[in-house]
Structure 1
Amino acid sequence: MTGQRFILRWSFVALLSSTVVLSQSVPIVTYAPVPAEASAPPLNSAGWRVEDLGKGAYMVSDNLYNALFVVSTEGVIVVDAPPTIGHNMLNAIGNTTDIPITHLIYSHAHADHIGGAYLFGKNVKKIAHKDTKQILEDMQDRKRPVPDIVFEDTYDLCIGNQSVQLSYKGVNHQRGNIFIYAPKQKVLMLVDVIFPGWVPWAFIGEAEDVPGTLKSHAQTLEFDFDYFLGGHLTRSGNRHDVVLAKEYLDDLKTNCANAIALTGEAPNETNPISFSEISPKVEAANPGNGWAQFQTIIGAAAAYCSNVTNEKWLGKLAAADVTGFDNAFAIVQSLRIDFDVLGPFGVLP
């Protein structure tokens, strides 16, 4: 990477921020094209589609969010109720089977994935992890009814000729975010962690726990699955998609650790992010402003890491240039706070 490319990228971030503040307008950025592997299948005229995963399992998607339902001989099991899909979730199920819906599983507590839960009525049993119940009790949101059935580690739901296995392996995207596995169909669902064909949404998918989110990729690969649902975007995934997602984050973590190391080294032609060079300039422009020091050097490390990472991943996974900086920023912060990779903020020799 050249210093010039770094400066251009970092200057753009600063310019974008200034533009929004000064003009109160939203700049429209043209990003790299979405790779064919991540392109969206067509929706029906109502703006949704159903993907048949086999043996009674179906994904419903509006190409921004997705959910799952499994048809058994005695009832339909639904996983998540994204409000963007809304009533169309019920339409998709009704167009597939006359068997009544008996259970609704919450992947986690976030409203963008279960904000349509109230549409299923009071007779449908809601199931979630105990932490999700606690969160929903605190929120008191009528659109996200408190679950009727809760579990701590594992829960096997067996209805008619179908089963869905629920397991909790620790905090990742949010506490209470669970693995949902249909063994008969080899369908695995973990929401807001892995996005087939895409890099994560900003800040590692707004992860509550970055180390737990990184760990969850290896946990995902412990399952025997043919289909993977991540709760977002354009298509179902497979094992290869999970491997790619893990590789991307492994690269991002390595590159961010290298960037932090550079901030603690002397400046030279290949190191434009040395704290010893940047810090006096920040102090001169912002006397006594400690947050300006943190923001500038952490942002510089994140921008450097993002650029290095995108040299490999841009065009390989969609939107690497859209959320790459935000994801790098989250990893830099996690490396500092969780993994003790402190760079210039560590104990001096």
Structure 2
Amino acid sequence: MQLFRMLSVLSLAAVGLACGHPHAHDEHEVVTRDSIKIAPGPSDTQIQFAPLPSIADSVTIDPALGYFAGDLGGGVHWVTDGSYSNMFLVSTHGVIVVDAPPTIGHKLLYAIGNTTRLPVTHLVYSHFHSDHIGGASLFNASHPTIIAHAETFNLLASLSPRDPLRPLPHVTFEDKYTVGVGNQTLELSYHGPNHTPGNLFMYAPVQRIALLIDVVFPGWVPFTELGLANFVPGFTAAHDVLLTFDFDVFVAGHLGRLGTKQDVLLHKKYMEDLQASCVSAINGGFNVTAAIGPTVAANQGNAWAEFKAYLRIAAQTCADNTTSRWLGVLGAADVFGFENAYRMIEAVRVEYDVLGPFGLS
């Protein structure tokens, strides 16, 4: 109820500003710069985004194959279609596969078959999202042991009806688990929710390769709404956890390039800058009453409309400040600038407890 009382106070002040503030119309124009729309506008398919910097360059995908398979040494290989990526380890007794993105699909079988005749004996789920493990049923014929965090099992088991494309894991764990097959070792660990509950940190110690899916996007800013992050504080903290691993190569699960520690450090700086910009926006970065005044005047008594106007201008303020500093530094800083800022604004408010005008009065 306190939120509604605060909105009512802001609404009364904003109505007056909407009628007499000399810049009310301009402020309202900023509010309407919302890239979250129910349906595309006439210009949405014609937007020209900023050129990608070279840091975002992908490996070359052979159009005839539709995928790229790279040898990382020590029996480890990665596969990408330019949008998704995963990894497999060839041991003396079988193959360990990490994730099975459906967009790569049967090409993953080709990549493994072109590398070894050994069967896939183990399949690791990084997390429960279908865009990363929706191709798991392709391995049903070899009956691999499927390994995942207990949270991943619970989330998959809760689906009704069950998804036959994502078989339930056979082995689950809470904190740490080591997959050992022949001469290959893959260490799995869980450090709390980040992108999703159950999202794993994975590490091949001999080859010094780390995997963390949907958190760090090497050379790029995060996918929309911070990669659809379930828990932003955990998503942000995951960068520091990842940096505790002694790795040379990083597999991120997305896009057509591998990462390094420098990529993780740069991505971490982006996240810190985005968070600081959003905190600044909430803590007086714009005139709230002037910004929401036109919406209040046009939607009397509609608290949701008022609050949407507030969240949109807060996110746009944050996005404008952040994007201006990251264009040309990371790929596509302008593409999901608003959406990432919008998710961070909500995280700052309800997960970090930075409430701005809606805090304790």
TM-score by length of 1: 0.91
Whether contact under 8 Å (1:155, 1:165) holds in the other structure is yes
Residue 146 of structure 2 is aligned to residue 112 of structure 1: no
* Cα RMSD after superposing both structures: 2.1
Relative to structure 1, the CA distance from residue 5 to residue 151 in structure 2 (aligned partners, 3 Å threshold; closer, same or farther) is farther
Give the Å deviation of 1:5: 11
Structure with the greater relative contact order (CA < 8 A, sep ≥ 6): 1 or 2?
Answer: 2
Distance 1:42 1:8, change over 3 A: farther
Is 1:135 paired with 2:155?
yes
Distance in 1 (CA, whole Å) between partners of 2:30 and 2:293 is 21
For the residues of structure 2 that align with 1:278 and 1:9, how far apart are their CA atoms? 8
Partner residue of 1:226 out of 241, 248, 254: 248
Unpaired runs of at least 5, structure 1: 264-272
The DSSP-based 3-state class of the residue aligned with 2:220 is coil
Question: How big is the shift at 1:347?
Answer: 2.1
**Which amino acid in 1 is paired with 2:204?**
A
Counterpart residue number, 2:350: 337
| Structure 1 residues 252 and 7, CA gap change in structure 2 (3 angstroms) | farther
In structure 2, the residue matched to 1:315 is 328
Tell me if 1:206 matches 2:231.
no
**Mapped contact 2:33–2:316 kept (Cα < 8 A):** no
* Structure 2 partner of 1:152: 174
Q: Secondary structure at the match of 1:51?
A: strand
Q: Distance in 2 between matches of 1:231 and 1:105?
A: 13
Q: CA deviation at 1:17?
A: 3.7
Check the 8 A contact 1:6/1:304 in 2, yes or no.
Answer: no
Partner Cα distance (1:228, 1:6) in 2: 43
- Distance apart, 1:156 and its partner CA: 0.5
Give percent identity, aligned residues only: 45
Partner amino acid for 1:134?
Answer: N
Determine helix, strand or coil for the equivalent of 2:336. Answer: helix
For residue 311 of structure 1, report the CA deviation from its aligned partner.
1.5
1:53 to 1:234, Cα distance in 2 relative to 1, 3 A? same
For residue 333 of structure 1, give the secondary structure of its aligned residue in structure 2.
Answer: helix
Report deviation, 1:27: 2.9
Whether the aligned pair in 2 keeps the contact of 1:79 and 1:104 (CA below 8 Å) is yes
- Match 1:75 to one of 94, 101, 104: 94
Superposed CA deviations along residues 17-72 of structure 1, whole A, max 9, x for unmatched, are 48737x7x953311111111212211121210012111111110001000000111
Deviation at 1:275, TM superposition (A): 1.1
TM alignment of 1:1-349, pairs within 5 A = 10-13=31-34, 17=37, 20=40, 27-44=45-62, 45-121=64-140, 123-139=143-159, 140-262=162-284, 273-348=286-361
Is the Cα contact below 8 Å between 1:313 and 1:320 reproduced in 2?
yes
Code of the aligned partner of 2:52: V
Q: Distance in 1 between matches of 2:68 and 2:200?
A: 25
- CA–CA distance in structure 2, aligned partners of residues 12 and 345 of structure 1: 23
- Output the CA distance in 2 between the equivalents of 1:141 and 1:18: 28
Give 1:281 deviation, angstroms: 2.6
CA shift in 2, pair 1:218/1:4, >3 Å: farther
Q: State the number of aligned residues.
A: 334
Q: Which amino acid aligns with 1:164?
A: L
Partner of 2:6: none
> Is the Cα contact below 8 Å between 1:6 and 1:303 reproduced in 2?
no
Output the CA distance in 2 between the equivalents of 1:240 and 1:72: 30
Q: Aligned-pair distance for 1:4?
A: 12
Change (3 A) 1:116 1:298: same
1:37 corresponds to which letter in structure 2? I
Compute the displacement of 1:82 (Å). Answer: 0.2
Asked whether the equivalents of residues 196 and 230 of structure 2 are also in contact (C-alpha less than 8 Å), the reply is: yes
Q: TM-score, normalised by structure 2?
A: 0.88
Deviation string, structure 1 residues 172-214 (Cα, Å, up to 9, x no partner)? 0110110111001111111111110010011110011111101
Show CA shifts across 1:156-179 (max 9, x none): 111111100000000001101101
Is the CA contact 1:166–1:178 (under 8 Å) kept in the aligned structure 2? yes
1:6/1:307 contact within 8 Å kept: no
Report the CA distance shift for 1:5/1:169 in structure 2 as closer, same or farther (over 3 A): farther
Q: Distance in 2 between matches of 1:307 and 1:6?
A: 14
